[in-house]
Amino acid sequence: MVLSSFGAHSELSEMASWLQKMKDFNIPFSIRTYNSSCPTITSLLKDLKSVPLSIEDLKERLQKDEILSVEQLIGYSVLVDPLKWCPSEGKLDLHGMHLATAYLIMLQWVQVLRSRFSAGSWVIPTEFRVICGSEKHSSVRGESPVKALVKQMMVQMRSPVKIDPTNVGCFVGRGKAVRDWLRSGREREEREREREKCEGTGIIV
């Protein structure tokens, strides 16, 4: 309630301070904590086709106090509960989350998957599932904002995770295809950074 009030009144430095106090006193974060969103994130989500697709890109669009709040949140991930991982399935459950919460969790999900695959010690699940739930909780009948968000993010990221034809409230992708997608995505990012570095020095690549 306190964090939501700070977010609603754009008192972001106070929000960041309270989040730090929670960490100092080992008070665990929850999905409800994530629901205390930043104004800029809320504004960005009005146009799903142009939302930042990584935590790094998101930070470039935020104000200083918002960055502090987001760093506090992502530094104490709540993915443990909504993310399940076993040989048969890697499942992320976004059901019931606010749109801004689902957005931050999705960014973390991609980051965590990439980290685990890079480590090489995690088993590759047979498939990955992202559960958005049905549209019955949407403020607009027949539309699920979270589902629309996930769809746009997956399309823009060129992800193999697609809407499950047998369950419209769920996205599904084969485990090895997801791993290969994240690997190729990292390689593209590295090439892009190298290109930008060369352009900055006048070197033609």
Q: What is the pLDDT of residues 163-205, one digit of tens each?
A: 999 998 999 999 999 999 998 866 666 556 566 566 666 665 4
Contact indicator for 143, 128 with CB cutoff of 8 Å: no
The residue among 136 and 29 whose pLDDT is bigger is: 29
The Cα 24–Cα 144 span in angstroms is 36
125 band by pLDDT with thresholds 50, 70 and 90: very high
CA dihedral sign, ordered 50, 54, 57, 61: positive
CA dihedral sign, ordered 34, 36, 41, 43: positive
The residue among 123 and 6 whose pLDDT is bigger is: 123
What confidence tens digit (pLDDT) does each residue in 52-94 have? 999 999 999 988 878 877 777 776 555 556 788 999 999 999 9
**What three-state secondary structure class fits 189?**
helix
The Cα 36–Cα 160 span in angstroms is 31
Class of domain 79-205: alpha beta
- Write down the pLDDT at residue 61: 92
User: What is the domain partition of the chain in residue ranges?
Assistant: 1-78, 79-205
pLDDT > 70 fraction of the chain, expressed in percent and rounded: 63
